[in-house]
Amino acid sequence: VTAPDPERVRVRQGAAEGSVWIGSGILAAAERFLVSPSRRLLLFSSAAAEAAVEPLRRALGARVILDRVVDDREAAKTLVTVSRIVDEALQAGLRRDDALVAVGGGVVTDVVGFAAAIALRGVMWNAVPTTTAGMADAAVGGKTGVNHVLGKNLIGSFHPPAAILVDPAALTTLPERDYRAGLVEAFKAAWIADPDLAGPASRRLPALLSRDENELLALIAGAVRIKAEIVSADPRESDRRRLLNFGHTLGHAFEAAGGFELRHGEAVAWGIAAALEVSRRRAGLPAEEADAVRRALIQLGPFPSPRREPEMLASLLARDKKTTAGGLASVLLERIGRARVDETVSAAEWLEAAAIMSLS
Amino acid sequence: VTAPDPERVRVRQGAAEGSVWIGSGILAAAERFLVSPSRRLLLFSSAAAEAAVEPLRRALGARVILDRVVDDREAAKTLVTVSRIVDEALQAGLRRDDALVAVGGGVVTDVVGFAAAIALRGVMWNAVPTTTAGMADAAVGGKTGVNHVLGKNLIGSFHPPAAILVDPAALTTLPERDYRAGLVEAFKAAWIADPDLAGPASRRLPALLSRDENELLALIAGAVRIKAEIVSADPRESDRRRLLNFGHTLGHAFEAAGGFELRHGEAVAWGIAAALEVSRRRAGLPAEEADAVRRALIQLGPFPSPRREPEMLASLLARDKKTTAGGLASVLLERIGRARVDETVSAAEWLEAAAIMSLS
């Protein structure tokens, strides 16, 4: 294996420091990048992640003391699944200085990361995302957890991975729809924080969509740098980190309203479409910049339309709001690359934006 | 209610800072001491803790938005119980700025603390221990968690409570056996770190055993200061914190061997009796100091004898050892008030000590 020359982005969250390694071919050299104090690793992967697991197995050899498949459906993102992973790890003789490796999409990194957070009161873990959404967003930031009948991600832990390996080789079997939906989160990072990332990436969307590795790595690395910078400054989502929720105010509602049939990134795309309307009126976002964002979303799509009955959206917005004491936390775009949190936007304004938003 | 004048001990663990409030009558003034950013509290208590819950309810009034009983048997210390607590809290509309209150013994603080660690990825919690063991040891230090079929406390989290209220009023219905067993942990802290606490407390054991509040508060406060100092310096049990495991090398084995019929403090008492033998030979503990410790343990007892078949103890010691890469971590006493971790003591030496130890 020739030595790849990956980019390294450091993420510091409280006492924990992790590294995101980004480059072609790093899975085949994984022994250099995955972290385990004992050198022993317990591998948990989704069945669909075989393209990523195979080079890992070859690179790691006897360091892998357990190799298991995890159910990666959203319906399996439960405390029961986490409990089963902890069981398997303990049965395999897990020690405090061992580390887990999660290979898969957001569900797998969420449940395996949470298992690592609570097994023996916390062991290290590594993430190998196999989706564009996981690479650009889900794996970075330390949020792990599971769903509850009352809502998504209501149970979990902040437990950042020690290492995240981002290698386009992990995407070879990713369906087109998921590939595109995940890129929405990467663009979202650019739109809230970095016009010099957003502009060129938008212009090179055809190459990105044909899976050009250099274009993809440039966008993902940029999104990871933005997220790493934000979560390092605000690990527990008190203030700055909320900027990452651009498009999520209605995005979460669209996701829930659709019975979770929309991909997360697709729901966020529609949430951004609505946020552009609100940002135009409330944050002075220039028309031509709103159009530039919308054009990029249109190229990333087409996305299935969300349900947008006002009564349903209103009750979903109210539920989201209930988890904190304050008002609805809206993220508005002032310019491409500059966002702010606004707590004065009413639910009615969001419903109006949902009614008029368009991605065509 | 006349204002009590409690002692405050601060515990700093990483970014988290908590306070232990120690004094007579503080439960009746609990609104001053319990912490909740939203001021809302969710109360979880054991059925046996009514003596402590009643004054809390009166002091807190409408701040209590949920009031539930938790199964406090060791057999209920499972992930299922934690899941049920999280369910109840979410059903009650838990927000991120709310806080839980655990009222009870070690099982209740362990499961409620763990529920607080994972609900909404972590909310604040407060502990009101109703046992001497909880006051002197279990509630301080941030360890929360549950048992697994493969062993005790194998699943959990470091999530320190924001406030711990230590009030002798919480002990009124505590059975004599538990009262005495819990004091072993308080003495343990004195023996490893503070001869000026250990000496006077030993001389005043009759008053302590007749539940003299001043004597009890002096000993508990001393033990809490020691534990707070140690865990603040070493929150994740890497080194210094292991000193708190004095008596636990064999204590854990005695506890497991007895099918958990021994109280934790009773098993630790026997573990200390064995550690005195090893400390005499290996750490130069003077005979008269070993005798002073043994005499105090005898007054705190009599404790039911543990099973001590060598084969059984050997396999239990081996299991404990397996959770870390290093050898058996033995805590030895050099003098009363001075302990050290020693990794050169063999299992055979511990088995020999178990064979010759005596508390009569």
| Interatomic CA distance for residues A353 and A276, integer angstroms | 8
- pLDDT, residue B321, reads 61
- pLDDT, residue A260, reads 61
Q: Does the CB of A160 have a partner CB in chain B at under 8 Å?
A: no
Of A139, A119, A141, whose CA–CA distance to A131 is shortest? A139
Sheet holding B99-104, edge to edge: B7-13, B16-22, B163-166, B124-129, B99-104, B41-45, B64-69
Q: Does the CB of B156 have a partner CB in chain A at under 8 Å?
A: yes
Interface contacts (A, B; CB < 8 Å): 88
The beta-carbon contacts of B241-245 under 8 Å, at least 24 apart in sequence, are B241/B141, B242/B329, B242/B331, B242/B341, B243/B192, B243/B193, B243/B331, B243/B339, B243/B340, B243/B341, B244/B137, B244/B141, B244/B188, B244/B189, B244/B192, B245/B329, B245/B331
- pLDDT, residue A138, reads 75
Grouping H, G, I as helix, E, B as strand and the rest as coil, residue B247 is coil
CB contact set of A61 (below 8 Å; sequence gap of 6+): none
Q: Angle A76-A77-A81 (CA atoms, 0-180°, nearest 5)? A: 70
- The CB-side HSE value for A265 (13 A sphere, CA atoms) comes to 28
| Interatomic CA distance for residues A3 and B85, integer angstroms | 50
- Supply φ then ψ for residue B276, to 5 degrees: -65, -40
- pLDDT, residue A325, reads 52
| Interatomic CA distance for residues A204 and A219, integer angstroms | 10
Q: Does the CB of B153 have a partner CB in chain A at under 8 Å?
A: yes
pLDDT tens-place string over residues A268-295: 999 999 999 999 999 999 999 999 999 9
Q: Are strands A143-148 and A64-69 parallel, antiparallel or unpaired?
A: unpaired
Q: Are A50 and A103 in contact (CB under 8 A)?
A: no
Q: Does the CB of B79 have a partner CB in chain A at under 8 Å?
A: yes
Neighbours of B251 (CB within 10 A): 27
Of A193, A257, A248, whose CA–CA distance to A225 is shortest? A193
Note whether B120 contacts A323, CB cutoff 8 Å: yes
Note whether B150 contacts A120, CB cutoff 8 Å: no
- Select the residue from B81, B97, B118, B147 to test the A interface by mutation, using most A Cβ atoms within 10 A: B118
Is the pLDDT score of A321 beyond 70? Answer: no
- Closest CB from A14, A96, A148 relative to B14: A14
Q: Does the CB of B154 have a partner CB in chain A at under 8 Å?
A: yes
- pLDDT, residue A105, reads 94
Note whether A118 contacts B118, CB cutoff 8 Å: yes
How does DSSP classify residue B312?
A: H
Dihedral of CA atoms B137, B139, B142, B148 in degrees, nearest 10, equals: 90
| Interatomic CA distance for residues B158 and B161, integer angstroms | 10
- pLDDT, residue B1, reads 46
Residue A36's alpha-carbon distances to A9, A60, A126, B282, in angstroms, are 19, 12, 9, 34
Q: Does the CB of A17 have a partner CB in chain B at under 8 Å?
A: no
- Supply φ then ψ for residue A142, to 5 degrees: 85, 0
CB contact set of B26 (below 8 Å; sequence gap of 6+): B4, B6, B33, B165, B166, B167
Strand partners, B126: B101, B163
| Interatomic CA distance for residues B229 and B141, integer angstroms | 10
Note whether A155 contacts B86, CB cutoff 8 Å: yes
| Chain Cα centroid distance, residue B187 | 12
| Interatomic CA distance for residues A251 and A134, integer angstroms | 17
Q: Where are the alpha helices (DSSP H) in chain B?
A: 50-60, 79-91, 106-118, 132-133, 176-193, 195-203, 205-209, 213-233, 248-257, 264-282, 287-300, 310-322, 347-356
- Residue count (chain B): 360
Token pair belonging to A299: 């190229």
How does DSSP classify residue B32?
A: G
Note whether A121 contacts B15, CB cutoff 8 Å: no
pLDDT beneath 70, residues of chain B: 1-4, 235-238, 259-260, 320-327
pLDDT tens-place string over residues A32-65: 999 999 999 999 999 999 999 999 999 999 999 9
Grouping H, G, I as helix, E, B as strand and the rest as coil, residue B71 is coil
| Interatomic CA distance for residues B258 and B266, integer angstroms | 11
- pLDDT, residue B326, reads 59
Residue A67 host element (H or E): strand A64-69
- Supply φ then ψ for residue B278, to 5 degrees: -65, -40
Token pair belonging to B52: 């402590």
Model confidence band, residue A238 (pLDDT cutoffs 50, 70, 90): low
Strand partners, B42: B66, B100
Residue A57 host element (H or E): helix A50-60
| Interatomic CA distance for residues A25 and A217, integer angstroms | 12
CB contact set of B175 (below 8 Å; sequence gap of 6+): none
* Percentage of chain A modeled with pLDDT above 70: 95
Residue A167's alpha-carbon distances to A101, A197, A226, A359, B81, in angstroms, are 15, 20, 18, 31, 40
A317: closest CA of chain B, how far (Å)? 15
- pLDDT, residue B324, reads 52
- Select the residue from A120, A150, A242 to test the B interface by mutation, using most B Cβ atoms within 10 A: A120
In this prediction, residues A182-200 reach a mean pLDDT of 97
- pLDDT, residue A145, reads 95
- Residue count (chain A): 360
Q: Does the CB of A238 have a partner CB in chain B at under 8 Å?
A: no
Grouping H, G, I as helix, E, B as strand and the rest as coil, residue A120 is coil
B205: closest CA of chain A, how far (Å)? 36
- Closest CB from A79, A95, A120 relative to B83: A79
Residue B319's alpha-carbon distances to A91, A155, B204, B211, in angstroms, are 12, 31, 39, 38
- pLDDT, residue A1, reads 46
- pLDDT, residue A196, reads 97
Give residue for tokens 């409990």: A83
CB contact set of B80 (below 8 Å; sequence gap of 6+): none
